[in-house]
Chain A
Amino acid sequence: MKLRRSMLFVPGNAPSMLRDAHIYGPDSVMFDLEDAVSPREKDAARHLVFRALRDYDYAGVERIVRINGLDTPHGLEDIAAVVAGGVDAVRLPKTDGPNDIIAVERAVEAAEKRFGRPAGSVKLIAAIESARGILSVREIATASARLVAIAIGAEDFVTDLHTTRSPDGVELLAARSMIVLAARAAGIMAIDTVFTGVDDPEGFLREVRLAKQLGFDGKSVIHPSQIALAHSVYAPTPEEIAKARRVIAAAADAEAKGSGVISVDGKMIDKPIVERAERVLALAGEVEA
């Protein structure tokens, strides 16, 4: 199970930040060619991100690039550059419906062919940032076998909704819940929006706890200091880890004996509890994430 507790946004036009993005230990780095880059620097940022993907060793950290939409003059060339560079996943901004995914999938497929990369090797992540996108989230989540996660981009979304962001996030509750439901139904991950208050660790922690409780697998982060905080929220307690170990051991024992009945601490254990225990151990770093 790949963890995506933290996806660190890195502006695509900042050479030093591109080089050092992984040293803070995020689960994924996300190089941004979209909103972080002004229109007149799109070409230069694309070259920097291409070289970063080609030339730097990110020590196994997942490398995602947020491209410009295909409705801009930049999107198609972004895809060519990042697929040629060897990107792990492409993140689409402003996904309004399944056709947005299908169009990007076609372009990615063509780029894989052009650059000799294995078919299907480039994954997709869709960011939903509008009411229209949220109402299509079910179709978006199943639009491509390449899709590994859906994310919510809150700033554009609350503007679309004619509201603003509040500390308790009530304005995002329906959208967040729909994203998690669609992600779970499709068997993919749900990634929460950024928290822009870099100097407000308490507010950040509150928001990560809320997102985790709703079912999100992780969060987009905009500052290295937010990575350890996000991971701390997702870290299981020693009691949870001990219990998970007992569940996994009992499940292995039952399987070895050919028994369908698993019991831990005098309680019957069924499949969802075993799955949850596997997830706890993955989050604890005890099994391959």
Chain B
Amino acid sequence: MTILNESTAGTAESGDARVTVRPNAGGGLTLELRGPSVIRYGDEIRAAALSILGALGVADAAITIEEKGALDATIRARLAAACGRAAAGSTAPAGPAAAAAQVPWEAMA
């Protein structure tokens, strides 16, 4: 999956996370974490994020995760949604339907 544009998913509400994904062509993965759980659970959040990026085949992206006490499952879901939106091609029809195309659900299990 190639990240083509900047996209976000999620909210700033308690128990949620807002994830922003930006193109980073040839630059590999950069991951910035912000939020109350980062000091204690930063390694877990990082591992969860990397497992989703691996499942989606995202090799180059600059990612910011702002969490508000979100559980791993929520961070994984928000990151997957943000990547799907960011990878929706500029030639393909825009919107959630296009973002949904070809989601590798089995890989994210």
Q: How many residues of A contact B (CB 8 A)?
A: 27
- Does A55 have its Cβ within 8 Å of any Cβ on chain B? yes
A15-B16, A16-B15 as given contacts; A43 in contact with B100, CB under 8 Å: yes
Let me know if A51 and B99 touch, CB within 8 A.
no
* Distance to closest chain B CB from A40 (angstroms): 6
Determine the chain B residues whose CB is within 8 A of the CB of A39 once the complex forms.
95-96
| Contact digits for A86-120, partner B, Cβ 8 Å, 1 yes 0 no | 00000000000000000000000000001100000
In the assembled complex, B78 has its CB within 8 A of some CB on chain A = yes
Q: Is B39 an interface residue (CB 8 A)?
A: no
Which of B13, B70, B77, B100 is A77 in contact with, Cβ under 8 Å?
A: B100
Stretch at the interface among B24-32, B57-65, B80-88: B80-88
Interface of A is mostly: helix
B71 in contact with A19 (CB, 8 Å): yes
CB–CB A114/B15 < 8 A: no
Residues from chain A with Cβ under 8 Å of B43 in the complex: none
Q: Name the one of B10, B70, B73, B109 contacting A52, with C-beta atoms under 8 angstroms.
A: B73
Indicate with 1 or 0, residue by residue over A248-285, a CB within 8 angstroms of chain B CB atoms: 00000000000000000000000000000000000000
Would you call A48 and B74 a contact (CB within 8 A)?
yes
Say if the beta carbon of B97 comes within 8 Å of chain A: yes
Residues of A within 8 A of B108 (CB): 50
Of the A-B pairs whose beta carbons lie under 8 Å apart in the complex, a sample of 17, sorted by A's number, is: A15-B16, A16-B16, A19-B71, A39-B96, A40-B95, A42-B100, A44-B9, A44-B10, A47-B80, A50-B105, A51-B73, A51-B76, A55-B73, A73-B100, A77-B103, A81-B105, A115-B106
Q: Which residues of A contact B (CB under 8 A)?
A: 15-16, 19, 39-44, 46-48, 50-52, 54-56, 73-74, 77, 80-81, 84-85, 114-115
